Structure 1
Amino acid sequence: MLAAFLDDIRDHDIIAPRLMAERLRLPMSQLAKLARVNRNTMTAKPASPAIQAKLGEIARIIARAAELAEDEGRAIIWFKYQPLPGWGNKTPEDVVEEGYPDAVMDALERMAAGVYS
Protein backbone atom coordinates (compact mmCIF):
# COMPACT_ATOMS: atom_id res chain seq x y z
CA MET A 1 0.00 0.00 0.00
CA LEU A 2 2.85 2.41 0.78
CA ALA A 3 4.21 2.05 -2.74
CA ALA A 4 0.83 2.78 -4.34
CA PHE A 5 0.17 5.81 -2.15
CA LEU A 6 3.70 7.14 -2.71
CA ASP A 7 3.38 6.63 -6.46
CA ASP A 8 0.27 8.82 -6.42
CA ILE A 9 1.86 11.68 -4.47
CA ARG A 10 5.37 11.59 -5.91
CA ASP A 11 6.78 13.91 -8.55
CA HIS A 12 10.10 12.48 -9.69
CA ASP A 13 12.06 11.77 -6.50
CA ILE A 14 10.09 13.87 -4.02
CA ILE A 15 6.72 13.84 -2.32
CA ALA A 16 4.85 16.63 -4.09
CA PRO A 17 2.93 18.77 -1.60
CA ARG A 18 0.27 19.66 -4.17
CA LEU A 19 -0.34 16.00 -5.05
CA MET A 20 -0.48 15.01 -1.38
CA ALA A 21 -2.93 17.82 -0.63
CA GLU A 22 -5.15 16.69 -3.51
CA ARG A 23 -5.00 13.06 -2.41
CA LEU A 24 -5.93 13.97 1.17
CA ARG A 25 -8.56 16.43 -0.07
CA LEU A 26 -6.95 19.30 1.86
CA PRO A 27 -6.11 22.84 0.83
CA MET A 28 -2.36 23.52 0.69
CA SER A 29 -2.64 25.79 3.72
CA GLN A 30 -4.08 22.92 5.80
CA LEU A 31 -1.41 20.48 4.59
CA ALA A 32 1.27 22.99 5.60
CA LYS A 33 -0.35 23.37 9.02
CA LEU A 34 -0.60 19.59 9.36
CA ALA A 35 3.08 19.20 8.45
CA ARG A 36 4.00 22.09 10.74
CA VAL A 37 5.78 24.03 8.01
CA ASN A 38 5.25 27.41 6.42
CA ARG A 39 2.99 27.18 3.35
CA ASN A 40 5.24 29.47 1.30
CA THR A 41 8.33 27.44 2.18
CA MET A 42 6.54 24.20 1.37
CA THR A 43 5.57 25.58 -2.05
CA ALA A 44 8.90 27.24 -2.81
CA LYS A 45 11.19 24.46 -1.55
CA PRO A 46 9.24 21.21 -1.65
CA ALA A 47 12.44 19.16 -2.03
CA SER A 48 13.96 20.43 1.22
CA PRO A 49 14.86 17.55 3.54
CA ALA A 50 12.82 19.03 6.40
CA ILE A 51 9.66 19.29 4.29
CA GLN A 52 10.16 15.85 2.79
CA ALA A 53 10.57 14.39 6.29
CA LYS A 54 7.32 15.99 7.51
CA LEU A 55 5.38 14.89 4.43
CA GLY A 56 6.94 11.43 4.73
CA GLU A 57 5.56 11.08 8.27
CA ILE A 58 2.07 11.77 7.00
CA ALA A 59 2.51 9.43 4.02
CA ARG A 60 3.64 6.57 6.28
CA ILE A 61 0.61 7.04 8.53
CA ILE A 62 -1.82 7.00 5.62
CA ALA A 63 -0.10 4.03 4.02
CA ARG A 64 -0.11 2.00 7.27
CA ALA A 65 -3.76 2.86 7.90
CA ALA A 66 -4.55 1.80 4.31
CA GLU A 67 -2.84 -1.54 4.90
CA LEU A 68 -4.98 -2.15 7.98
CA ALA A 69 -8.21 -0.95 6.38
CA GLU A 70 -7.37 -2.57 3.04
CA ASP A 71 -8.56 0.64 1.40
CA GLU A 72 -6.87 4.00 0.96
CA GLY A 73 -10.15 5.94 0.99
CA ARG A 74 -11.12 4.43 4.35
CA ALA A 75 -7.65 5.24 5.69
CA ILE A 76 -8.02 8.89 4.74
CA ILE A 77 -11.47 9.07 6.33
CA TRP A 78 -10.09 7.43 9.50
CA PHE A 79 -7.20 9.92 9.56
CA LYS A 80 -9.47 12.93 9.22
CA TYR A 81 -12.54 11.95 11.26
CA GLN A 82 -12.07 9.01 13.66
CA PRO A 83 -11.18 9.99 17.26
CA LEU A 84 -7.95 8.36 18.35
CA PRO A 85 -8.22 6.29 21.56
CA GLY A 86 -6.46 7.99 24.43
CA TRP A 87 -6.58 11.43 22.82
CA GLY A 88 -10.12 12.50 23.71
CA ASN A 89 -11.99 13.64 20.64
CA LYS A 90 -8.82 14.34 18.67
CA THR A 91 -8.45 12.67 15.31
CA PRO A 92 -5.17 11.31 13.98
CA GLU A 93 -5.00 14.46 11.84
CA ASP A 94 -5.31 16.62 14.99
CA VAL A 95 -2.62 14.62 16.78
CA VAL A 96 -0.21 14.91 13.83
CA GLU A 97 -0.92 18.63 13.61
CA GLU A 98 0.00 18.96 17.29
CA GLY A 99 3.36 17.37 16.51
CA TYR A 100 2.86 13.75 17.56
CA PRO A 101 2.96 11.62 14.39
CA ASP A 102 4.76 8.85 16.28
CA ALA A 103 1.78 8.56 18.63
CA VAL A 104 -0.48 7.94 15.63
CA MET A 105 1.90 5.30 14.26
CA ASP A 106 2.00 3.67 17.72
CA ALA A 107 -1.82 3.61 17.76
CA LEU A 108 -1.84 1.98 14.31
CA GLU A 109 0.62 -0.66 15.45
CA ARG A 110 -1.52 -1.38 18.53
CA MET A 111 -4.56 -1.75 16.24
CA ALA A 112 -2.59 -4.13 14.03
CA ALA A 113 -1.83 -6.20 17.13
CA GLY A 114 -5.51 -6.24 18.07
CA VAL A 115 -5.35 -3.69 20.89
CA TYR A 116 -7.92 -0.92 20.36
CA SER A 117 -7.67 1.26 23.46
Structure 2
Amino acid sequence: MAHALKAPLPTESLVLTYMDRAGRIAIDQLADGFGMSKTQLAETAGLARETLYRAERSGARKAQGRLREMLEIISRVSDWAGGKEQAMAWYRAQPLPAFGGRTAEALVKEGKAAAVRDYLDHMAVGGFA
Protein backbone atom coordinates (compact mmCIF):
# COMPACT_ATOMS: atom_id res chain seq x y z
CA MET A 1 0.00 0.00 0.00
CA ALA A 2 1.50 3.33 -1.04
CA HIS A 3 1.60 6.17 1.43
CA ALA A 4 0.60 9.61 0.22
CA LEU A 5 3.08 12.38 0.95
CA LYS A 6 1.78 14.79 3.53
CA ALA A 7 1.91 18.49 2.82
CA PRO A 8 4.16 20.20 5.35
CA LEU A 9 2.38 21.69 8.30
CA PRO A 10 2.38 25.50 8.27
CA THR A 11 4.86 25.49 11.15
CA GLU A 12 7.28 23.39 9.11
CA SER A 13 7.10 25.26 5.82
CA LEU A 14 9.79 27.89 6.45
CA VAL A 15 11.94 25.37 8.27
CA LEU A 16 11.85 23.12 5.21
CA THR A 17 12.43 26.07 2.86
CA TYR A 18 15.76 26.83 4.54
CA MET A 19 16.88 23.27 5.26
CA ASP A 20 19.85 21.80 3.40
CA ARG A 21 20.16 18.19 2.24
CA ALA A 22 21.78 17.22 5.54
CA GLY A 23 18.72 18.44 7.46
CA ARG A 24 20.37 21.59 8.85
CA ILE A 25 19.22 25.15 8.51
CA ALA A 26 21.25 26.71 5.66
CA ILE A 27 22.60 29.90 7.23
CA ASP A 28 23.47 31.82 4.04
CA GLN A 29 20.11 31.09 2.42
CA LEU A 30 18.25 32.02 5.59
CA ALA A 31 20.10 35.32 5.97
CA ASP A 32 19.56 36.10 2.27
CA GLY A 33 15.91 35.07 2.46
CA PHE A 34 15.21 37.68 5.11
CA GLY A 35 17.58 40.31 3.71
CA MET A 36 19.88 40.11 6.73
CA SER A 37 23.57 39.76 7.31
CA LYS A 38 24.74 36.73 9.28
CA THR A 39 25.44 39.15 12.15
CA GLN A 40 21.83 40.39 12.10
CA LEU A 41 20.53 36.83 11.88
CA ALA A 42 22.66 35.76 14.84
CA GLU A 43 21.36 38.72 16.87
CA THR A 44 17.75 37.91 15.95
CA ALA A 45 18.18 34.29 17.03
CA GLY A 46 20.06 35.19 20.20
CA LEU A 47 23.36 33.67 19.10
CA ALA A 48 26.88 35.04 19.26
CA ARG A 49 27.84 36.81 16.04
CA GLU A 50 30.74 34.42 15.40
CA THR A 51 28.47 31.39 15.60
CA LEU A 52 27.03 31.82 12.13
CA TYR A 53 30.37 32.55 10.49
CA ARG A 54 31.95 29.22 11.45
CA ALA A 55 30.59 26.03 9.93
CA GLU A 56 31.32 23.88 12.98
CA ARG A 57 29.48 26.32 15.26
CA SER A 58 26.57 27.13 12.94
CA GLY A 59 25.87 23.41 12.58
CA ALA A 60 25.92 22.80 16.34
CA ARG A 61 22.77 21.59 18.05
CA LYS A 62 22.19 24.83 20.01
CA ALA A 63 22.56 27.11 16.98
CA GLN A 64 20.42 24.90 14.75
CA GLY A 65 17.79 24.53 17.46
CA ARG A 66 17.53 28.27 18.02
CA LEU A 67 17.23 28.98 14.28
CA ARG A 68 14.61 26.26 13.92
CA GLU A 69 12.59 27.69 16.83
CA MET A 70 12.72 31.14 15.29
CA LEU A 71 11.60 29.80 11.90
CA GLU A 72 8.78 27.71 13.42
CA ILE A 73 7.35 30.76 15.16
CA ILE A 74 7.70 32.97 12.07
CA SER A 75 6.00 30.24 10.00
CA ARG A 76 3.07 30.13 12.41
CA VAL A 77 2.35 33.83 12.06
CA SER A 78 3.30 34.41 8.41
CA ASP A 79 -0.19 33.79 7.00
CA TRP A 80 -1.99 36.29 9.19
CA ALA A 81 0.96 38.70 9.29
CA GLY A 82 0.93 38.98 5.49
CA GLY A 83 4.12 37.09 4.63
CA LYS A 84 7.46 36.06 6.04
CA GLU A 85 8.93 39.57 6.11
CA GLN A 86 5.97 40.90 8.10
CA ALA A 87 6.13 37.83 10.34
CA MET A 88 9.80 38.58 11.04
CA ALA A 89 8.89 42.18 11.89
CA TRP A 90 6.21 40.86 14.29
CA TYR A 91 8.68 38.39 15.81
CA ARG A 92 11.23 41.14 16.46
CA ALA A 93 9.02 44.02 17.54
CA GLN A 94 5.49 43.09 18.65
CA PRO A 95 5.10 43.17 22.44
CA LEU A 96 3.12 40.17 23.69
CA PRO A 97 0.79 41.14 26.57
CA ALA A 98 0.77 37.61 27.99
CA PHE A 99 4.55 37.88 28.49
CA GLY A 100 4.77 41.29 30.10
CA GLY A 101 5.25 43.02 26.77
CA ARG A 102 8.30 40.99 25.76
CA THR A 103 8.61 40.07 22.09
CA ALA A 104 8.74 36.58 20.62
CA GLU A 105 12.39 37.32 19.79
CA ALA A 106 13.19 38.11 23.44
CA LEU A 107 11.41 34.97 24.61
CA VAL A 108 13.22 32.70 22.13
CA LYS A 109 16.53 34.23 23.23
CA GLU A 110 15.58 33.29 26.81
CA GLY A 111 14.93 29.69 25.75
CA LYS A 112 11.14 30.09 25.96
CA ALA A 113 10.17 29.23 22.39
CA ALA A 114 7.78 26.52 23.62
CA ALA A 115 5.86 29.14 25.61
CA VAL A 116 5.52 31.29 22.48
CA ARG A 117 4.30 28.29 20.47
CA ASP A 118 1.75 27.47 23.20
CA TYR A 119 0.61 31.11 23.20
CA LEU A 120 0.17 31.06 19.41
CA ASP A 121 -1.76 27.77 19.65
CA HIS A 122 -4.02 29.35 22.28
CA MET A 123 -4.61 32.39 20.07
CA ALA A 124 -5.29 30.22 17.02
CA VAL A 125 -8.26 28.57 18.75
CA GLY A 126 -9.77 31.90 19.75
CA GLY A 127 -8.06 32.51 23.07
CA PHE A 128 -7.37 35.95 24.41
CA ALA A 129 -3.96 37.58 24.73
Fold shared, TM-score > 0.5 on shorter chain:
yes
Residues 1:5 and 2:14 aligned together: yes
Matched-pair contact (CA < 8 Å) for 1:32–1:39: yes
Q: TM-score w.r.t. structure 2 length?
A: 0.70
User: Structure 1 regions of 5+ residues with no counterpart?
Assistant: none
Aligned residues: 117
Matches within 5 A, 1:97-112: 97-112=109-124
> C-alpha root-mean-square deviation of aligned residues, in Å?
2.5
Structure with larger Rg: 2
Q: Pick from 77, 83, 88: which aligns with 1:76?
A: 88
- Structure 1 partner of 2:53: 43
Letter in 2 for 1:5: L
Q: 1:63-92 CA deviation, whole Å, 9 max, x = no partner?
A: 122255573333223212221122233221
Aligned mates of 1:24, 1:107 — CA distance in 2? 24
Q: TM-score w.r.t. structure 1 length?
A: 0.76
